[in-house]
Every structure is written in C-alpha cells, then in structure tokens.
C-alpha cells in the first residue's frame, strides 16, 4: 500500500541511535526509539525516512545530500534538524584538526598539543565562543540561503518543518562556556530560514518552565543528544504539528 505522505528527516546525529560504553544498555538509544521511528509509528499512513547523519553540518546538506534525500525521495514533508555541530565552541578549527593529523606531526607532539588545549578548554571557548566553530554564522546563513533557493526550485509541493538546536544549555555551558550565546545566534538564523522557505519554525519544548532536573531528563549527559524521553517527546510534538497541518 502506498503511503499517503512521505516525510524525510534531514538531521544530524540527534535523529540516530546511540550506543554506550560498557554494559549499561539501558542508556542506549535503539533504532526503534529514535524520534523518526516513533513518528512513523504515530503516523501509520505515512512513510518516514530517517536520513540522519553523524557530524552533519549546514554545508553538507547542499550537493549530494540534496540530490539523494530530496530530489530522489521527493518528500511531502521535510524536517530539518542541523546546527549543533556547526555552532559548538571548539578548541580546534577544522583546519587545525587537519594539520594536526598530517603524518609529519610526531605523535608525541600531537598528543601534547591536544592535551594542552583540552586543559584550557573553558578559557579558550569563553574568550571567543565563535572563534573556532566549524561553521561561522555568516557561512551558516549563506548555506541555508542557498539551500532555500534549491528548495524553491523543487517542482512538487513540499512542507518544511525546521527544528531549533536543542540542548540543555546549563550542561553545555559548563562544558563549553559561551555556547548559549552561539545557540541564540544560530537558532535565529534557522528561524529566518524557516520564514524564507515559508516553512514552520518549531519550539517543541518549553525549557524555561522546567526545573533543571526535568530539562536534563530530555538529554544524555552531554547535554545535546536526546534521551529516550527526549525522542518520545519530540516525536509527539511533530505528530501534533503534522496532523494539524494536514487537517488545516
């Protein structure tokens, strides 16, 4: 039986399963627990295709990703979830990481540099949270602008739902001071992108009304990968949004 609607989740690792070290399998996120799989279960007449990719950045959704997951699959609904990899404060830029991995760099020297930066992580990221991000805000905005142009040229009607960069900001701030200011900037760019493509900007969780413990329960210890509860809650909010749009 042909599905009534096809939904493509073009996401980063937040839509994917996660394993754990050791034997604590209760902490693992299995495939059937991810929000796209739960969304499929909630919308049995639809076809939900999870096109998540680990370490996906804004520039990677152009080119082959666009052809493979949009032109070839022709979704009726496209859900965009990117940004955390782009905006997170880093201790190395992409270029610096490439240079460190060159074979001419002695292993001992490479290890010393990495450990030195790790010890100074809070100092480095707090001083200038945007200095070493993988995708600077201007480049992030340009990628999404180009992506919006691609979408507007598609020859079939397609609804676009844009998710914000989700995180437990308190946990993330302790790990990478300055990330909250980055999140405000990048989420603002994502919201503008949603408006540009006449899509819908979703705010699935009202963290401001939650206690710290309640907020933390939606995420892993890293503060941005979703827990089982987070996947379930996001799937429920997306289901409500899609049903509302289809009945509107």
Q: Which residues contact 192 (CB under 8 A, 6 or more apart)?
A: 141
pLDDT tens for each residue of 99-143: 999 999 999 999 999 999 889 888 888 889 999 999 999 999 999
Per-residue confidence (pLDDT) for residue 248, from 0 to 100: 55
User: Please, which residues have CB within 8 angstroms of residue 18's CB and are 6 or more apart in sequence?
Assistant: 28, 29, 220, 225
What stretch of H or E contains 81? strand 77-81
Q: What's the rounded Cα separation, in Å, for the pair 238 and 204?
A: 8
CATH architecture of 5-89+136-247: 3-Layer(aba) Sandwich (3.40)
Q: For the chain, what is the radius of gyration of the CA atoms?
A: 19
Confidence (pTM): 0.91
Residue 21 has a pLDDT of: 61
Using a 10 angstrom Cβ sphere, with 0-12 exposed, 13-18 middle and 19 or more buried, the burial of residue 216 is middle
What pLDDT does 124 receive? 87
User: What whole-number distance in Å separates Cα of residue 89 and Cα of residue 121?
Assistant: 9
DSSP summary character for residue 70: I
Burial zone of 87 (CB within 10 Å; 0-12 exposed, 13-18 middle, 19+ buried): buried
Predicted pLDDT at 181: 94
Q: Nearest CA to 52 among 72, 67, 31, 71? A: 31
Higher pLDDT, residue 125 or 85: 85
Averaged pLDDT score across all residues of the chain? 92
Each residue of 40-72: pLDDT tens digit?
999 999 999 999 999 999 999 998 999 999 999
pLDDT of residue 122: 86
For residue range 175-188, list pLDDT tens digits in order. Answer: 888 999 999 999 99
The structural domains of the chain, with segments of one domain joined by +, span 5-89+136-247, 90-128
Question: How many residues are given for the chain?
Answer: 248
Mean pLDDT of 94-98: 89
């Amino acid at each position: 039986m042909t599905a009534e609607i096809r939904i493509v989740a073009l996401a980063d690792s937040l839509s994917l399963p996660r394993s754990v070290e050791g034997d604590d399998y209760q902490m693992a996120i299995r495939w059937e627990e991810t929000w796209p799989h739960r969304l499929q279960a909630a919308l049995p007449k639809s076809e939900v295709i999870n096109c998540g990719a680990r370490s996906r950045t804004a520039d990677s959704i152009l080119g082959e990703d666009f052809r493979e997951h949009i032109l070839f699959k022709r979704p009726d609904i496209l859900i965009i979830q990117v940004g955390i990899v782009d905006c997170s404060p880093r201790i190395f830029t992409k270029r610096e990481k490439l240079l460190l991995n060159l074979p001419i760099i002695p292993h001992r020297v490479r290890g010393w540099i990495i450990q030195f930066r790790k010890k100074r992580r809070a100092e480095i990221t707090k001083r200038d949270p945007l200095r070493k991000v993988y995708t600077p805000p201007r480049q992030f905005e340009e990628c999404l602008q180009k992506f919006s142009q691609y979408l507007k040229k598609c020859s079939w009607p397609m609804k676009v739902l844009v998710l914000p960069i989700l995180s437990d900001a308190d946990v993330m701030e302790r790990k990478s001071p300055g990330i909250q200011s980055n999140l405000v900037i990048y989420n603002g760019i994502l919201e503008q992108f949603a408006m540009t493509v006449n899509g819908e900007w979703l705010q699935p969780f009202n963290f401001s009304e939650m206690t710290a413990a309640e907020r933390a329960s939606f995420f892993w210890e890293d503060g941005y990968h979703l827990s089982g509860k987070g996947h379930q809650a996001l799937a429920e909010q997306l289901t409500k949004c899609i049903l509302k749009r289809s009945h509107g």
